[in-house]
Every structure is written in structure tokens, then in C-alpha cells.
Structure 1
């Protein structure tokens, strides 16, 4: 973590709240110290971990409901951290909640066995996407915690190293969850390959490779946080 990062986070939180804190306080003490102290109190109140967690969880639950109840576009699925492959020659294809493959708006006839494979592949996608959402929610909490601690650190003289150490248990948990997600990819790849072999119409959309599985753990371990892992990418 760099000093500039913490300073920027603190400043983003501090400035608008300082302005809000000054409005309607005609009798409040003047001076930069009182304004900063008031802003700090408001940061603490408005960035309460429970409030942030509730809002993030609300959004995650809504996204999960939509994921289960809506069509999954095969063109939007991208596994790995590399650039998303583009193939404009492919017609739009989706798997419906009922497990029907629809290409260019037309349902593709499937045997009972093929249908079961479509349902399994869709469930593999949903399971990994939901796990990714939960990891994202944890990351949001850590981001707020880091910003708050950067602000308090300005008052208490804590170093960036001390702040980083204080949130390390949380980041370690996310790392473990991310690695657990990576371990689920082989099953998703196997499901995709099985479906592609059994259903030629699906094969052009089977873009996940063994390299994506192999690279997942390495991407998660990137020390600079520049790499990432995507299951859906618009």
C-alpha cells in the first residue's frame, strides 16, 4: 500500500463530509481543527461497517436473484484476467433459466441428456459467479476499513505499514476464498467441454481453456493487486 493511496481515500471521504458538516451549524466553533474533527466524526458514522455491509449485501442478493432468474449470455462469460476474446461472427447465444440453449433468438433442440448438460453448465457458471460476488463484498468492506484507518492514522500517526498489518487478517480471508474459487474451475471446464462435445451448436461458445484454470491461482497471488479474475465481462 502506498501513502498516496491512503491519502486519496481519506481525502475523498473527508472533503464532502466536511462541507456537509459545516452546513446549518451557525453556532459551531470556527477553525480548521473543529471542521476536520466534525468531518472525522461524520466519516465514522456514515461509513459504519454495518451500514456498508448491509448496502453491499443488498446489492449482492439482488444480483444473485437476477443471475438465477434471467438468461445467461454466453458471449458475456469471460474466465481469467486476460483480455476478453471477441468474435463478432458468433450470433448471440443464451442459456435460459429452464436450461434451453437459444441462439439468434431461436431455441436449439436438445435431447434429455444435452438438456441435463446445459443445466449443469449453467449451474457451474452461477455457482462461481455467486462466489465471486461474495468475495467482492468482502473486498468492499476492506476498502472502507482501509480508508477509515487511513483517516484515523492521520490523527494518530500510524504508518501505512501499521494500517496494512491491521487489515491483513481480512485480506488473508479473501485470498483463501479466491483460491477456493479457483479450485472450482476444473469442474466448470469439464462441464463446458462435455457439453461442447455433445452439442455442436454450443461449441463456438466454449471459450474457457485449461490455461484459464492454470492461471487462476497465479492471478490471485499478484502482489500488486493489478491482476484479477472475471467470470462475467461486458
Structure 2
């Protein structure tokens, strides 16, 4: 499948430095240095989320994998392959725009899930400090793991769950537009792998 964007989106949802993904309950307040770290992490993730939204709305989206000829989709639905503007019918342009919209959804949703992960990471800092003082580290670990698993499952549902529709759009484009065929590389095996728990916290 196209490795240019999907792994990055899933990485946003569950990056190792976050330690976990997601939050459903109000944050435990952090004090002193923990509050500063929390603020900085949230600022960074806010910036990432903003940049993703702006890029999806205004910039060309690269759909080529390594070894493939450069290919991009413009915000207007033009398909550029190796610098050439591929001539499109109205129906083909509609499909190209549908595919671009699917990529944009994945990117923006991945960024949003990443924001939840950042929130949990900052909460975990304060909770870890409090649990060390109280001696109740097992309870803290269980709570964090439960929240992390929930957000990991959200990533599977929201991101992996969209892959069949993307594969279908790719296949429709490949059938209608031979120039697009090399970029229609999402397979059922990719979908199965995604759902097999590769993004679980277990």
C-alpha cells in the first residue's frame, strides 16, 4: 500500500514518546515542572494538528511510494504524475477529489487522536509523580493502560476502518484511469494487518 501517509497517520495516533494514546476523563492537575511539560507537549501537538489541517486544505498531496514516479493531487483535483497534468473527465476528477478527501480525513483524524495521546501523556506525568509519593503505582499503571488501550482501539476503528473505502476508490480510479494504477496499492492484506492489533498497546 502507499506508505507515504498511512503509517505516519497511525504514528500520530500512537507515538512511542506519548507512552499511550487517549483520554476520556478530566486531567489530573500537574504542578511545577510537570505543568510546564504538559503545556509544551500540548502546544506542540496543537501545532501539528493545525499544520495537518492547513496542508490538507491548501497543499498538493503526495500519493507516490518509494520507487514510484512522483504523483500528487492538487486541492482542485488535478492529478500530477511526474510533473505532467493528467487529463481527467468530470467523473475521474470527482473520484480523485474523493480520494484526496479520504486521505485528508485520515490525516486530520490521526492528528486528533494524537492530541488525545498527548493529553494522556501529560496526565501520566503528574499521576506518576503522585503515585510514587503515595506508593500506589499499580493503580496508576492500570488506569493509564486502560485509557491507552481505549484510544488505540479508537485508532483502529477510525483509521483502519476507513481503509476499505480508500481501497475501493483506488480500484475505481485504476479501472477508469490507467495512469493511476501504479498508485492503487492498498490491499486486503494491508487492511487485515491494520485490524490485527498492530496498533494495540498490548
What band does the TM-score fall into relative to the shorter chain?
0.7 to 0.9
**Cα separation, 2, equivalents of 1:166 and 1:222:** 16
Alignment of 1:175 onto 2:152: yes
What whole-Å deviation, never above 9, does each CA across 1:114-172 have from its counterpart, x for those lacking one? 1111011111111112111111111122222223322222222122x322222245324
Secondary structure (helix, strand or coil) at the match of 2:151 reads: helix
Q: Which residue of 2 aligns with 1:111?
A: 89
Pairing partner for 1:73 from 19, 43, 62: 62
Q: Which residue of 1 aligns with 2:113?
A: 135
Unaligned runs of 5+ in 1: 1-8, 10-39, 77-85, 225-234
In the alignment of these two chains, the number of paired residues is: 173
Supply the RMSD in Å over aligned alpha carbons. 2.3
**Cα separation, 1, equivalents of 2:34 and 2:114:** 22
Q: Report the Cα offset of residue 189 of structure 1.
A: 0.8
Q: Report the Cα offset of residue 106 of structure 1.
A: 1.2
Q: In the alignment, is the contact (CA less than 8 A) between 2:56 and 2:104 conserved in 1?
A: yes
Pairing partner for 1:164 from 125, 141, 159: 141
Q: In the alignment, is the contact (CA less than 8 A) between 1:178 and 1:220 conserved in 2?
A: no
**Cα separation, 1, equivalents of 2:170 and 2:94:** 12
Q: Which residue of 2 aligns with 1:205?
A: 183
**Cα separation, 2, equivalents of 1:61 and 1:223:** 26
**Cα separation, 2, equivalents of 1:202 and 1:218:** 29
Q: In the alignment, is the contact (CA less than 8 A) between 2:57 and 2:75 conserved in 1?
A: yes
**Cα separation, 1, equivalents of 2:56 and 2:117:** 21
Q: Which has the higher contact order (CA 8 A, sep 6+)?
A: 2
What whole-Å deviation, never above 9, does each CA across 1:71-98 have from its counterpart, x for those lacking one? 000125xxxxxxxxx3x2x321101111
Secondary structure (helix, strand or coil) at the match of 2:72 reads: strand
State TM-score, norm by structure 2: 0.75
Q: Which residue of 1 aligns with 2:162?
A: 184
